[in-house]
Structure 1
Amino acid sequence: MSAKHHKVRVGISIGDFNGIGPEIIMKSLKDKAITDFFTPIIFGSGKLFSYQKNFFKLQHLNFNYIQNVREAAHGKINMLNLSKDNSNVEFGVPTEESTRFAISSLEAATEALLNREIDVLVTAPINKDEMLKYGFQHAGHTGYFEEKAGRKGVMFLITNDLKVAVSTHHIPLKDVAENISKEKIVKQVQQLNKTLIEDFCIEKPKIAVLGLNPHAGDGGVIGKEEIEIIQPAIEELFNRGTLAFGPYPADSFFQPEKYRKFDAVLAMYHDQGLAPFKTIAYEEGVNYTAGLPIIRTSPDHGVAYDIAGKNLADEQSFSEAIFAAIDIYRNRMEYIELQKGKLRPRVLNAKDNIDEDLPEEVN
């Protein structure tokens, strides 16, 4: 069956059930026609979701309870029962029970993803600090999935108009400079380039690279990283045929007339990329772990304990995460089908005439 006609099996981990995870999951699935587009499989608990379904007055939702992923039925909202016990819900407060269940849900869903029992995984928000207390050994989803996939990925925040990756993830700001290198930036931009081609159907991606220091170092006055690390990486990438440009000053880059000239942006550290991204695209933003053989997305917000249980959570980002995962899966499968039996594409070099495709400011 072709990717176009395959009904994608979307696994869903529930995150911390004392946050807004179950609420945004159910709100995303409340349309009766939603299962015409994909097959949802929630790695949760029937009793837990029945309680929250009634609490949020979503009684029209019906679950198909299964004990094995292979029992999932198309046309239904499938609930894989990880526990038959009652759950003690305390909205707005992380507890040992809610944290351990978040870990169990994530681990079960990931196992199904690695075993290809589901096609994609959408993860609801977790409390990273609490999970570390109970044996989870990663500072977030990205490192966890890198370990499971056996390779490094890239944290990639995406919308239709703006796509931002970060070179360093959850590390102290004082450690950022020593955690960037020419080799690392080259590899990350190459991963982004491959992702944009295979997962987003962009034939010749143009990727902007931000500087580390204010004003991109001001020619070395405010730091040497741009001269010694970032610019050499960009030159090597361009000479290899990857359309990478920069380094650009981060303080002025995220203006619509600038960032829209590029297909993606690589920021040097977490807040440099995510602060403007969440300001511009908070409600529709999706977190995608790019560069891995598996497909995982999530909303670009956290557990939101402050509004948990108040029926105020907006499900748009979670819905966007579901459909982004489906689109990426279909794009990737179609790319694989198209490449079967084809010759490898010609690699561009710096002498090729590509001026007509470049942003005006780099011509």
Structure 2
Amino acid sequence: MENRLNVGITHGDVNGISYELIIKLLAENRICELCVPILYGSPKVAAYYRKVLNIENFSLNTIREPGEANGKRSNIINCVDDNVKVDLGKETPESDQATMVALKYALDQLDRDEIDVLTLAPQGPNAFFTEEAGSLVEYLGKRYNTTDIMSILVSEKIKMGFVTEQVKLRDVPHQVTQKNIFKKLTLLDDTLRQDFTILKPKIAVLGLNPQVNCGQNGDEEVNVIIPAIERAREEGIMAIGPFSAERFFSERMYEKFDAVLAMYYDQGVVAFKSVDEESAACYIAGLPVICSMSLTDPHYDIVGQNLGDEQGLRNALYLAMDVCVHREQNIELQKNPLPHYDIATNSNESDLNVEQIEGVRAELED
């Protein structure tokens, strides 16, 4: 198969289930039919886990750079110290360091277009503290010098972005501002168009307070969220809300929308996983490169027991590949745009936006 993507995979935490998931995933013949997988990690650690898990008929082709990759096999670039210590079931400073070394190495090659996309295996929660960052999003924002960045949870049934992410609950109201909401709506709308080829995305916006949609909007809804939504509409973004999170998910309103913007991470992630965790993965929006990650935890409690489920890592790998294809398609479309025709007499895009918003509202009220 020609023109397969070079897909980088970082090894995550060497003390968690990452290597088990990676080995199980790369053992599937179809993976090498779809892409050229390149693992950033340690051949020594990979061999150790293969022995611990008693996995036969699997090997990795050791290379020095992506240009040497064997298109018919899974490849590995040794980018950590051969003496890296594996301490099963424990996150340690050494395992966090090995996580970040592999991630930096892979990102450097991604920046140089030596690989096309990057997928991250499960990492320890403290790994990014070594880089004075509290999360992957914060770390990547610093690396690429941007604040217009957001993790988007993606599944077959729902996509979800966040105004605030890894922050303490008491700090959420201070960060839920008109400016931040508008920026996140703009980023989410752009990402849905460019990376998911959704021509006119419909975005639902959740409220901050639980009484939204009960005739008792709180101060944040009235003074912050609603004005931000109205500003977004003026820019042609089809944003609707704010909705009470409880009602929005219990009544399955998300089925009427292309994406949801939650005010903070915990508000949305539990509901997201209850809707569709099986096909879920995370995409990092707002970057010049394509980066995805599994939503699976390192699961230190089951390391070495052959109980890990690689589906989440598979989802993340497929997600990154899909986004890459969509971006390439959009670049081609922009080179050869179709002529624009006004499909509604005496109407403009703002008029159509208003009509479509009212149509969605009518569907929700039925």
Whether these two folds match at TM > 0.5 is yes
Tell me the equivalent position of 1:184. Answer: 180
For residue 57 of structure 1, the aligned residue among 44, 47, 54 is 54
The superposition leaves residues 238-294 of structure 1 with CA deviations (integer Å, 9 ceiling, x where unpaired) of: 222111000000112113631111000000001001111122222321011112221
Number of positions where the alignment pairs a residue of Structure 1 with one of Structure 2: 357
Segment drifting more, 347-356 vs 60-69:
347-356
* In structure 1, C-alpha distance between the alignment counterparts of 2:279 and 2:161, rounded to whole Å: 16
Matches within 5 A, 1:323-362: 323-342=318-337, 348-350=349-351, 353-354=355-356, 358=360, 360-361=363-364
Deviation for aligned residue 1:209: 0.3
Tell me the equivalent position of 2:171. Answer: 175
Deviation for aligned residue 1:131: 4.5
The question of 1:289 aligning with 2:292 is answered no
Residues 117 and 324 in structure 2, CA contact (< 8 A), matched pair in contact too: yes
For residue 20 of structure 1, the aligned residue among 13, 17, 20 is 17
SS in 2 for 1:43: strand
Mark the CA change 1:20 to 1:256 in structure 2 (over 3 Å): closer, same or farther: farther
Residues 47 and 84 in structure 1, CA contact (< 8 A), matched pair in contact too: no
The question of 1:199 aligning with 2:195 is answered yes
Residues 157 and 276 in structure 2, CA contact (< 8 A), matched pair in contact too: no
1:260 partner letter: E
* In structure 2, C-alpha distance between the alignment counterparts of 1:237 and 1:13, rounded to whole Å: 37
Tell me the equivalent position of 1:144. Answer: 139
Residues 283 and 316 in structure 1, CA contact (< 8 A), matched pair in contact too: yes
Identity across aligned pairs (percent)? 36
Residues 201 and 238 in structure 2, CA contact (< 8 A), matched pair in contact too: yes
For residue 272 of structure 2, the aligned residue among 254, 274, 277 is 277
For structure 2, list consecutive stretches of 5 or more residues without a partner in the other structure.
Answer: 343-347
* In structure 1, C-alpha distance between the alignment counterparts of 2:111 and 2:244, rounded to whole Å: 39
Residues 97 and 127 in structure 2, CA contact (< 8 A), matched pair in contact too: no
Mark the CA change 1:344 to 1:191 in structure 2 (over 3 Å): closer, same or farther: farther
1:266 partner letter: L
Deviation for aligned residue 1:47: 0.9
* In structure 2, C-alpha distance between the alignment counterparts of 1:171 and 1:282, rounded to whole Å: 23
Residues 231 and 246 in structure 1, CA contact (< 8 A), matched pair in contact too: yes
Tell me the equivalent position of 2:294. Answer: 299
SS in 2 for 1:349: helix
Residues 216 and 249 in structure 1, CA contact (< 8 A), matched pair in contact too: yes
SS in 2 for 1:89: coil
1:163 partner letter: K
Residues 158 and 164 in structure 1, CA contact (< 8 A), matched pair in contact too: yes
RMSD across aligned positions (CA): 2.2
For structure 1, list consecutive stretches of 5 or more residues without a partner in the other structure.
Answer: none
Tell me the equivalent position of 1:213. Answer: 209
Mark the CA change 1:293 to 1:232 in structure 2 (over 3 Å): closer, same or farther: same
TM normalised by structure 1 equals 0.92
Tell me the equivalent position of 2:149. Answer: 153
Mark the CA change 1:256 to 1:327 in structure 2 (over 3 Å): closer, same or farther: farther
